[in-house]
Amino acid sequence: MGGAISLLAVNFIVAQIFVVAFLIISVKSRSGRAAAWCAAGFAVASLSAICEAVLPFTPMPRLFAVGAFANVLAGFCLLRIGLGVFYSVPAKPPVLASFFIGSVIVDLFIYDLPRGTLLHAFFYQMPFFLIQAWSAAAIIRSRRRSYADGILLCMLALSALYFLVKIYAAVAAGSGATAADYLQSPFALISQALGAMLIVGTGVAMLGVVVKDVVDEARASSEIDALSGLCNRRGFSSRVAPLLRDLSDHDVGTLILADIDRFKLVNDTFGHHTGDEVIREFSHILADVMPHRAVAGRVGGEEFAIFLPRVGLADARVVANGIRSELAVKRINGLPEGVAVTASFGVSAVAAGELLDAAMRRADNLLYAAKAGGRNRVECAEPPIRVIASADYHRSGKYRPT
């Protein structure tokens, strides 16, 4: 019995560590609600260790035996709620509550059945299998497919399988004639040892997905411009780089640089608050007009960039002119009636294998040409002719342009 009691103590302490960890995350992350539910789940489930430890010494074994069952199941239900919040696959509260209450009532009915029988083991372990399988199903139904999500899915599936195997193990190994005899049975030591490993594994996996979300949130916030809601220069570069790598020799991308005309004059005349409103409105126009898979960013004070993957120069010119026209007629708060804001655009095709910096410099030159040409206009250019080595180079010593 001493070994089983020791494992119960270990399980309780480990659960409290996870409670503290999830509570800390709940304060620091946008996944705070999910982490708080997970903390509650581990806290409630850990109370079962106290109930099981008291069982051999209490004159009311039924109360503590059912209490241990109810605490574990309630903890799993709370974890299911937390995972539902995190993965946006919520469990319906009436269904979850009915499942919990029904399972506890069944446990009360089977309490007096011989504990080493298949009938008792089946009805005792099945609710745990179902709630773990239900939690795993939430991950499957979600759209998240990272490695951390896959590991958590595997741990929940293993936990569900563990409770199925316990149905047979409780009969084969013997779980004691009564609930009070449980801690003296061989089954208790095996069950608590495996349970401890699964608690640690599942808890670490849950922490992994939540911490990954915290890291992703921090990375995203460092790459998003707070005023416009678009990517900042760093975020724009990091998102465009893989799109450039995906371009083949037969593909073409297009880069648009836009600069709001006379923006300093807007700030000086109407105030920085109105200038901020101009930035926000222009950003909304970009988000509304640019096509699917395009990346937009605010790369300077009043300068913006848009990358259009697999979009030719002619279509990009149409997009740029659409943005230009939309801004010119946009009514912006803080500006007097009849005062319009315009922007100039430099549009350059981007060839496969071309570096983003080179394309940015070319588009920037076109943007300055648009400014010099009177503003509120679009200037376009094809990428420079690329040169590759011809099959005859070694014979002629010359390159063939393509």
Of 6-15, 45-54, 220-229, the least confident: 6-15
Q: What is the pLDDT of residues 16-37, one digit of tens each?
A: 999 999 998 888 776 789 999 9
Which of 302, 326, 337, 354 is an active site residue? Answer: 302
| pTM greater than the 0.85 cutoff | no
Report DSSP state, residue 178. Answer: S
User: In 3D, which of 368, 174, 142 has the Cα closest to residue 258?
Assistant: 368
The widest CA-to-CA distance across the chain, in whole angstroms, is 101
- Work out the average pLDDT over 314-333: 93
Q: What is the mean pLDDT of the chain?
A: 85
User: In 3D, which of 256, 214, 216, 221 has the Cα closest to residue 235?
Assistant: 221
Percent of the chain exceeding pLDDT 70 equals 87
253 contacts: CB under 8 Å, gap ≥ 6: 243, 244, 247, 307, 308, 309, 310, 311, 349, 350
382 in active site: no
Contact of 263 with 298, CB cutoff 8 Å: no
Q: What is the pLDDT of residues 154-167, one digit of tens each?
A: 999 999 999 998 88
How would you list the strands of the sheet with 252-260, edge to edge?
A: 295-298, 303-308, 252-260, 343-351, 378-381
User: How many whole angstroms separate alpha carbon 24 and alpha carbon 14?
Assistant: 16
- Work out the average pLDDT over 222-233: 89
The CA-based angle 20-24-27, given to 5 degrees, is 145
Residue 4 has pLDDT above 80, yes or no: no
At 85, which amino acid appears? V
- Work out the average pLDDT over 320-337: 92
